[in-house]
């Protein structure tokens, strides 16, 4: 134990320097917060639906809640029920066994609802496409407002996609 303590005292604290601030993340977070307040006037509540993905997109969605991205500090929360949600975040190609569940989640989400398809599988069906076990992309089952491509998309791309959904909804509201 003493040799280890001597080595620690001799070398001192050895760490990497802190990384530079990510300007794109800060700008996106600020724009997302402003668009959310302008559109909803309150926090955005998201219901995530895994329609049959490989879970790579889920890992990136979970990263949105870590201290680096900290989506909850912006006022964006995830809900367990689509009845409390403003947005559905759907990942994966829609498996035949999940088709009814996705439709029910869509129907249970109150208007005005937003639907975001996440990942290449959610946007295009990915490598699975349409088959006896898969309905393919999310748009084959429910209407989709925004697609976020990538396999998997990064947390920053997810934030930009949510921002695009809020911005597109605001444009539609102005035209009506």
CB 113 within 8 A of CB 83: no
Count of CB atoms within 10 A of residue 169's CB?
A: 20
pLDDT tens per residue across all 176 residues of the chain: 888 888 888 888 777 777 777 888 888 888 888 887 877 778 889 999 999 989 999 999 999 988 888 888 888 899 999 999 999 999 999 999 999 999 999 999 998 899 999 999 999 988 888 889 999 999 999 999 999 999 899 999 999 998 888 887 555 554 44
Answer whether 153's CB lies under 8 Å from 57's CB.
Answer: yes
Pick the closest to residue 69 from 153, 158, 164, 148 (CA basis): 158
Q: Specify the pLDDT at position 102.
A: 94
pTM: 0.80
Q: What is the DSSP letter of 11?
A: H
Helix (H, G, I), strand (E, B) or coil at 85: coil
Q: What is the distance of C-alpha 86 from the center of its chain?
A: 13
Q: Which pLDDT score, from 0 to 100, does residue 81 have?
A: 92
Rounded to a whole number of angstroms, the CA Rg of the chain reads: 20
Looking at residue 71, what is its pLDDT? 87
Residue 41 carries which DSSP code?
Answer: S
**Non-local CB neighbours of 132 within 8 Å, separated by 6+ positions:** 96
Instruction: Give, for 31, the enclosing helix (H) or strand (E).
Output: helix 23-39
- Supply the pLDDT for residue 174: 47
Per-residue model confidence (pLDDT) at position 166: 86
């Amino acid at each position: 134990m003493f040799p280890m303590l001597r080595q620690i005292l001799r070398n001192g604290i050895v760490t990497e320097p802190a990384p530079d601030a990510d300007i794109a993340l800060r700008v996106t977070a600020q724009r997302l917060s402003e668009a959310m307040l302008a559109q909803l006037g309150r926090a955005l509540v998201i219901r995530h639906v895994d329609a049959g993905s490989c879970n790579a997109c889920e890992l990136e969605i979970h990263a949105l809640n870590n201290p680096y991205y900290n989506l909850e500090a912006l006022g964006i929360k995830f809900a367990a029920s689509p009845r409390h949600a403003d947005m559905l975040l759907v990942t994966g190609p829609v498996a035949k066994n999940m088709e009814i569940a996705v439709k029910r989640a869509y129907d249970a989400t109150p208007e005005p609802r937003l639907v975001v398809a996440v990942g290449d599988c959610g946007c295009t069906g990915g490598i699975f496409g349409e088959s006896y076990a898969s309905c393919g992309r999310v748009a084959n089952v429910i209407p989709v407002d925004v697609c976020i491509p990538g396999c998997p998309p990064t947390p920053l791309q997810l934030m930009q996609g949510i921002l695009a959904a809020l911005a597109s909804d605001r444009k539609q509201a102005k035209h009506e």
